[in-house]
Structure 1
Amino acid sequence: MTCLFGHATNLVFRCMPQDKPGQPHDYITERKRNDRKPPRPPKDVTVRISTLDGLYAEFIEKPGNEKGTIFYIHGGGFTVGSARERRGICQYIAANYGYNCVNSNYRLAPENLWPSPLEDCYKAYTALLKTGIDPKSIVFMGESAGGTLVLSLSLLLKEKGLPQPKALTAFSPVVTQADQFPSYTANARTDYMLRNSVKEGKSKVVYGSHANDISYLRDPLISPLYGNYTNLPPVILSASDTEVLLDDSKALYQKLQKEKHPAALDIRHGVCHAFQVFTRMPEARAALAWTFAKMEELS
């Protein structure tokens, strides 16, 4: 039953509209299409709309949650997505794991090129610290491009000598913009969400004139695979064995293992990219349970 549920969810994306070859992608329409009504909060969970240094933010809380705060960073290829769209996973976490969640927006490409998203995540995090929250009670969490930003933000904080969070949890992150992994091709026929998009690359949309500059793209803030993780928090990774970004998580995990940095990797079978945000799926719930257990073990 569990495998069938996850497989069926992946198949849903096979019916999603696809761009014709050479057709420019309409990001505005995609954002409108994805802007669905958020799910109702579970019992005792509240959603407070606010801002963090001028950025739209949602504070999702439950009385008695004392373990800390999840600073959630949404994905969407740096071009789509919002805090509101990730309210569901944040509500689920707040209801079940003793953590409140803070989820904020960041500027999107192609209107805003890199490093706009990272700058905004940095602004939101430093604004959150000014509220008095202990950084050691904060966990960075995000999926896809949000998972990348989780890693990049921690590396940026290291550069600036600012406090690190308790842990880094990245679901199906992109760890390099400068390299090609075998799963980009091998899993293109089983990943109905991303398909060939990672192999073909859309870096010009995000990085503009630097899109073909390999030395630029190997900057650790862009490609966290090249980062120095000394004195950074534990890294918890989660991915699907049928998604094109599988090898990204595996490559980073192998690097961290070699460096004896605290890290863990969970791979689920037959589910879609970023499946962890679909909390009605048994696989998503199992992956989140594993993530929180491993996080407490390593932190």
Structure 2
Amino acid sequence: MNQSPELKAILNAIPADFADPAADYQSVRKTFEGFHGHPTGSDLQITFPTYGGVRCGEYELRGGLNYPIAFHCHGGAFVSTPLDAYHFYAEIIAWQTGCRVVMPDYRLAPEHPWPAAPDDCFQSYLGLLKSGIPPSAIVLFGESCGGSLALALLTKLRDKNLPMPACFISLTGWFDLSVAGRSVEARDPFLTAQWVRNRGLDYTGGALPLDDPAVSPAYADLSGLPPLYLQIGQYDTVREGALTLGAAALQDGVDVLMESWPGMVHGWHGLVNAGVPEAAAAWKAIRHYVESACDV
């Protein structure tokens, strides 16, 4: 499958050092400032409730259905992009799925290393349940590093015998921080393998290996999890972790749908507002999956 002209133009404009393996977390934050923090439209209503003691963003489209609830663990490589610079992505989810979106403002590494971020996601999810939202009306999303946070949430819910969301949807999730397996990074301008490993080191603070199942769910016991939907880009640097996760989920008896998206790179879903047709097609498939999972 050939990449669209719109996608090629964007990829060609990405600086060659966007994911410089030598970059530290402060450099990552500075780089990401230019790619996040976009303004949102007047149709998006944003409030800041506290769920489970964690500040969250809640996003509703005026006049929209705003159902089901998308609980989104956002990206930013564990070290960057707090909630107030990520409203634009919640807006994308709301427009593309029709969902009301809840996004926890989890603490960032390295100032707050593992397990701060997954603990915040866990507590805010429980708080959302306590507010009266039934788990069957919640769709769990995880984008980029948020994929591993979302899976950590699911495994903890399972281990504590707590209510699960209806399903999980991966938006180019990181599931193996060691980035093992065949390299595809030469075709992905957004990530390099060593850059991902370095962010994993920022996140773990050296407390455990990067391939530990606690931070790399590709190696975790996945039995008992709700259905998983993994859209996997051909050239995504963290593709192998998603493939490993999907195969493990199948072996553990989980309902898993893995889709191959030829020619796609890391984070292509976020390019939908730039008119990239592959991103629009991916979101169309996601909306169908959400509507089927929650009987919308």
Q: TM-score range by the shorter chain?
A: 0.7 to 0.9
Judge conservation of contact 1:238–1:267 (CA < 8 Å) in 2: yes
User: Could you say which residue in structure 2 is the equivalent of 1:273?
Assistant: 266
C-alpha distance 244-178 of structure 1, shift in aligned 2 (>3 A): closer
User: Could you say which residue in structure 1 is the equivalent of 2:54?
Assistant: 55
Compute the RMSD of aligned alpha carbons. 2.6
Deviations 1:231-285 (A, max 9, x none): 3210011121112111122221222233442111223233331111222222122
TM-score for the superposition, normalised by structure 1: 0.85
Report the secondary structure of 1:210's partner residue: coil
Quote the sequence identity (%): 23
After the TM superposition, which parts of structure 1 deviate over 6 Å for at least 4 consecutive aligned residues? none
Deviations 1:183-232 (A, max 9, x none): xx3x2211111124357544321112335x46xx423x312123333332
Q: Output the CA distance in 2 between the equivalents of 1:68 and 1:35.
A: 26
User: Could you say which residue in structure 2 is the equivalent of 1:152?
Assistant: 152
C-alpha distance 253-161 of structure 1, shift in aligned 2 (>3 A): same
User: Could you say which residue in structure 1 is the equivalent of 2:5?
Assistant: 4
C-alpha distance 134-226 of structure 1, shift in aligned 2 (>3 A): same
User: Could you say which residue in structure 2 is the equivalent of 1:40?
Assistant: 41
In the TM superposition, residue 130 of structure 1 has moved relative to its aligned partner by 1.6
One-letter amino acid matched to 2:168: L
One-letter amino acid matched to 1:218: D
C-alpha distance 176-70 of structure 1, shift in aligned 2 (>3 A): same
Length, aligned pairs only? 289
Deviations 1:18-63 (A, max 9, x none): 6584x6442453454455342324x4x4222333344332111134
**Stretch moving more, 197-206 or 164-173:** 197-206
User: In the alignment, is residue 237 of structure 1 matched against residue 234 of structure 2?
Assistant: no
Judge conservation of contact 2:33–2:81 (CA < 8 Å) in 1: no
Judge conservation of contact 2:136–2:166 (CA < 8 Å) in 1: yes
Structure 2 unaligned spans of 5+:
none
C-alpha distance 167-200 of structure 1, shift in aligned 2 (>3 A): closer
One-letter amino acid matched to 1:287: A
Judge conservation of contact 2:25–2:199 (CA < 8 Å) in 1: no
User: Could you say which residue in structure 1 is the equivalent of 2:14?
Assistant: 13
Q: Output the CA distance in 1 between the equivalents of 2:66 and 2:205.
A: 43
Q: Output the CA distance in 2 between the equivalents of 1:95 and 1:266.
A: 22
User: Could you say which residue in structure 2 is the equivalent of 1:126?
Assistant: 126
One-letter amino acid matched to 2:205: G
User: Could you say which residue in structure 1 is the equivalent of 2:117?
Assistant: 117
One-letter amino acid matched to 1:181: G
Q: Output the CA distance in 1 between the equivalents of 2:21 and 2:219.
A: 34
**Stretch moving more, 83-92 or 106-115:** 83-92
Of 276, 280, 291, the residue aligned with 1:285 is 280
C-alpha distance 64-4 of structure 1, shift in aligned 2 (>3 A): closer
Judge conservation of contact 1:148–1:170 (CA < 8 Å) in 2: no
In the TM superposition, residue 112 of structure 1 has moved relative to its aligned partner by 1.0
